């Protein structure tokens, strides 16, 4: 058709689809031969390339006088000798029905990182099995990685059938063994093809060696297997906003690549994580407005309302918006020589959002060869583990299995800027699960106005027995007498209720203060003047509590009583117990107190009475115009 009617050829090729696939296998199982043959058969090789291969075949080929297809793709061997990192090579060929992009990963020691990278963009995978050896450890390993990355369509190419006399029994035995194993991994859509990449059987044509095989040839499979874009179109609508397009005051578009679903003008949408709602007014493209756009397209949306949207936000269909959360269970693949350390902050890129992320806990590491779970304190290059991930702020997401583009992420080292890890979000943990931030019309200023006051947190810190509760209590009485709406959060009282599950280890102290900080924030939001009386020994946690509210709403009040004085007073007898060793982790005795460096108020209790202290605090509130 090319030579007779190029126009109709072009017309036909205009409607071709695209399939991306990955080939898994190691050096000797015929992977390069297979890819070489696919390139050759698709007739997209040029004469100069063929001439070069023919010459090379005579020189280095392993196939005698026959052409060695493997040489077409084995440009990598020399580079490996030079020590160049080859993770994935991409090759291209096409037929009348589809264009193909093949991710080819060399099967050497970096297989995990490379395969995960190559598979992340693939719709399907071809797993090469040598008919002589059947299912090997590496077959299991590759299968696990494919299931991990969520490859839906898998071809098990049982190759080198020519070396087992094209025996049907051999093929069926391997199929049975593999099915048994695949069940454990949850792989379902598997096609088995007996093949000889070298001789060409069942690659493009069936050939005459295996009349007992009635399934598709590899090429027939590749030309018809479903691509992921179609599956993603059926999921709810998601558009991670890449860039806000404001060429002039009259145009405000939200540009991005549609991760899933479909959208039409008039559709109700919700913006995450803010939760704001609007309606799509136009789907703008350079070629004119669209009536509908689907997963896989890059578009620009215009909305009916002037709501605040920026890069990193996710526009969702209003009926099933993305979840927002800041703690997740994930599977993490480590990709760098520098090991993963729990507790160390990394930059996380999820869709178009970038946040700080910390692995708070490695639940278990997975052995890629045996699939066994083992405890781990850190994760080395090519290690895979199920982890708990905590973020600096909530992000919009979907479970990776449902929408890969809003559930797959990379971790970036903050110092070297290297991409050090890749992961998949499974689900949100605890409090953050399924919570959509509800935008409310009655806001903090409105509530404060109704009470006729400015909300604030008076954060008292100091040693046990320093006088925090006593002074805070006096301050609250004075405020209350003046008609102020207040609440006193006291260390002992909170530990009897909200925080009764916490002890006094450093980790529990951190959590104790985190919760109190959050409660104080809610109360400030409600318009209250909040007083907190906690030892709160660590600067970083007091900072965290301070960061939760506006800068002018937080007053740090240091109740400074020297240790010997506090120990002498010992109103609850705690110091005596601690000195006897009956009380562990007691602040000032065997646990540190980090005094504030620049408190808003420094009360030295050895120099003034509790009443005077309370009056000084009231004076400060007047100075800061928090009260009249």
Partner 1 sequence: MTTLTHLQRLEAESIQIMREVVAETDNPVMLYSVGKDSAVMLHLARKAFAPGPPPFPLLHVDTRWKFRAMYAFRDQVARETGMELLVHINPEGIEKDINPFTHGSAIHTDVMKTEGLKQALDQYGFDAAFGGARRDEEKSRAKERIFSFRTAQHRWDPKNQRPELWKLYNTRRHKGESIRVFPLSNWTELDIWQYIYLQDIPIVPLYYAAERPVVERDGTLIMVDDERMPLEPGEVPMMRKVRFRTLGCYPLTGAIESEADTLPAIIQEMLLTRTSERQGRVIDHDSAASMEKKKAEGYF
Stretch 115-154 residues interacting with partner 1 (CB under 8 A) = 116-117, 120-121
Which of 452, 487, 497, 460 minimizes the C-alpha distance to 603?
Answer: 460
Number of residues that bind partner 1 (CB under 8 A): 82
Element (H, E) at 174: helix 168-185
Tokens of 414: 């903050």
Tokens of 514: 């985190």
**274 in active site:** no
Task: Tell whether residue 99 is a contact of partner 1 (CB under 8 A).
Answer: yes
> Is residue 200 within 8 Å of 37, Cβ to Cβ?
yes
Nearer to partner 1 by Cβ, of 65 and 85: the residue is 85
Exactly one of 41, 54, 76, 168 binds partner 1 (CB under 8 A); that residue is 76
> What is the spatial distance between Cα 149 and Cα 117, in angstroms, rounded to a whole number?
9
> Is residue 324 within 8 Å of 432, Cβ to Cβ?
yes
| Residue for token pair 């069926």 | 172
> Would you give the binding string for partner 1 spanning residues 226-245, x where CB under 8 A is met?
---xx--x--------xx-x
Least distance to partner 1 from the beta carbon of 15, Å? 6
> Would you give the binding string for partner 1 spanning residues 383-422, x where CB under 8 A is met?
---------------------xx--xxx-x----xxx--x
φ, ψ for residue 95 (rounded to 5)?
-120, -175
> Would you give the binding string for partner 1 spanning residues 324-343, x where CB under 8 A is met?
-----------x--------
State which of positions 50-69 bind partner 1 (CB under 8 A): 50
> What is the spatial distance between Cα 468 and Cα 490, in angstroms, rounded to a whole number?
9
Task: Tell whether residue 15 is a contact of partner 1 (CB under 8 A).
Answer: yes
Of 135-143, 252-260, 514-522, 574-582: span binding partner 1 (CB under 8 A): 252-260
Sign of CA dihedral 20, 25, 26, 30: negative
Least distance to partner 1 from the beta carbon of 154, Å? 19
> What is the spatial distance between Cα 287 and Cα 303, in angstroms, rounded to a whole number?
19
Task: Tell whether residue 7 is a contact of partner 1 (CB under 8 A).
Answer: yes
Least distance to partner 1 from the beta carbon of 61, Å? 17
Least distance to partner 1 from the beta carbon of 28, Å? 21
State which of positions 500-529 bind partner 1 (CB under 8 A): none
Task: Tell whether residue 248 is a contact of partner 1 (CB under 8 A).
Answer: yes
| Residue for token pair 């009249």 | 628
Nearer to partner 1 by Cβ, of 245 and 327: the residue is 245
Count of positions (residues) in the chain: 628
End-to-end Cα spacing for the chain: 89
Exactly one of 55, 58, 77, 90 binds partner 1 (CB under 8 A); that residue is 90
> What is the spatial distance between Cα 353 and Cα 348, in angstroms, rounded to a whole number?
8
Least distance to partner 1 from the beta carbon of 394, Å? 19
42 is in an annotated binding site: no
Which of 314, 292, 297, 303 minimizes the C-alpha distance to 252?
Answer: 303
Nearer to partner 1 by Cβ, of 77 and 440: the residue is 77
Active-site choice (536, 540, 546, 610): 536
C-alpha 208 chain-centroid distance: 49
Least distance to partner 1 from the beta carbon of 85, Å? 5
> Is residue 356 within 8 Å of 442, Cβ to Cβ?
no
> Is residue 432 within 8 Å of 327, Cβ to Cβ?
yes
Active site residues: 536
Residue ranges for the binding site? 25-32, 104-108, 159-162, 462-469
């Amino acid at each position: 058709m090319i030579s007779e009617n190029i126009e109709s050829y072009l017309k036909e090729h205009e409607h071709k689809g695209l399939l991306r696939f990955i080939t898994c296998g190691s050096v000797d199982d015929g992977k390069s031969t297979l890819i070489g043959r696919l390139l050759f058969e698709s007739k997209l090789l040029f004469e100069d390339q063929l001439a070069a291969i023919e010459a090379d075949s005579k020189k280095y080929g392993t196939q005698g006088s026959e052409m060695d297809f493997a040489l077409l793709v084995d440009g990598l061997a020399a580079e490996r000798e030079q020590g160049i990192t080859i993770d994935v090579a991409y090759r291209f060929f096409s037929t009348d029905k589809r264009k193909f992009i093949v991710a080819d990963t060399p099967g050497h020691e970096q297989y995990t990182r490379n395969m995960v990278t190559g598979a992340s963009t693939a719709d399907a995978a071809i797993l090469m099995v040598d008919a002589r050896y059947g299912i090997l450890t590496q077959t299991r390993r590759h299968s696990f990685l494919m299931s991990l990355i969520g490859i839906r369509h898998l071809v098990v190419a049982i190759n080198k059938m020519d070396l087992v006399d094209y025996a049907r029994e051999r093929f069926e035995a391997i199929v049975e063994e593999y099915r048994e194993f695949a069940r454990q991994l949850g792989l379902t859509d598997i096609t088995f093809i007996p093949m000889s990449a070298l001789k060409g059987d069942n690659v493009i044509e069936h050939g005459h060696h295996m009349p007992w095989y009635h399934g598709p040839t590899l090429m027939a499979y590749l030309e018809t297997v479903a691509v992921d874009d179609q599956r993603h179109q059926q999921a709810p609508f998601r558009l991670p906003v890449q860039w806000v397009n404001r060429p002039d005051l009259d145009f405000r578009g939200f540009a991005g690549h549609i991760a899933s679903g479909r959208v039409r003008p008039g559709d109700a949408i919700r913006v995450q994580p803010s939760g704001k709602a609007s309606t799509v007014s136009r789907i703008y493209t350079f070629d004119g407005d669209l009536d509908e756009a689907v997963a896989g397209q890059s578009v620009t949306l215009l909305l009916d309302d002037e709501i605040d949207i920026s890069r990193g936000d996710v526009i969702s269909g209003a009926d099933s918006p993305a979840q927002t959360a800041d703690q997740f269970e994930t599977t993490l693949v480590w990709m760098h020589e520098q090991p993963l350390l729990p507790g160390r902050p990394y930059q996380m890129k999820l869709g178009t959002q970038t946040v700080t992320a910390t692995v708070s806990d490695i639940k278990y590491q997975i052995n890629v060869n045996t699939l066994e779970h083992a405890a781990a304190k850190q994760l080395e290059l090519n290690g895979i583990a199920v982890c708990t991930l905590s973020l600096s702020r909530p992000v919009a997401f979907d479970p990776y299995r449902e929408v890969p583009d809003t559930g797959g992420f990379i971790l970036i080292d903050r110092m070297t800027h290297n991409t050090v890890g890749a992961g998949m979000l499974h689900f949100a943990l605890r409090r953050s699960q399924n919570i959509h931030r509800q935008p409310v019309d009655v806001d903090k200023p409105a509530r404060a106005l109704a009470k006729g006051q400015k909300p604030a947190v008076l954060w008292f810190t100091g040693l046990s027995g320093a006088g925090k509760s006593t002074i805070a209590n006096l301050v609250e009485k004075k405020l209350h007498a003046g008609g102020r709406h207040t609440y006193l959060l006291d260390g002992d009282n909170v530990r009897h209720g909200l925080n009764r599950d916490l002890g006094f280890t450093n980790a529990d102290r951190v959590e104790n203060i985190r919760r109190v900080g959050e409660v104080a924030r809610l109360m400030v939001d409600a318009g209250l003047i909040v007083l907190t009386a906690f030892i709160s020994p660590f600067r970083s946690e007091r900072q965290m509590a301070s960061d939760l509210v506006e800068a002018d709403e937080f007053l740090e009040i240091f109740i400074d009583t020297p240790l010997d004085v506090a120990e002498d007073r010992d109103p609850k007898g705690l110091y005596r117990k601690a000195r006897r060793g009956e009380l562990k982790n007691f602040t000032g005795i065997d646990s540190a107190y980090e005094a504030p460096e620049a408190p808003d108020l420094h009360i030295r209790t050895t120099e003034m009475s509790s009443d005077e202290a309370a009056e000084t605090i009231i004076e400060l509130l007047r100075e800061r115009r928090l009260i009249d």
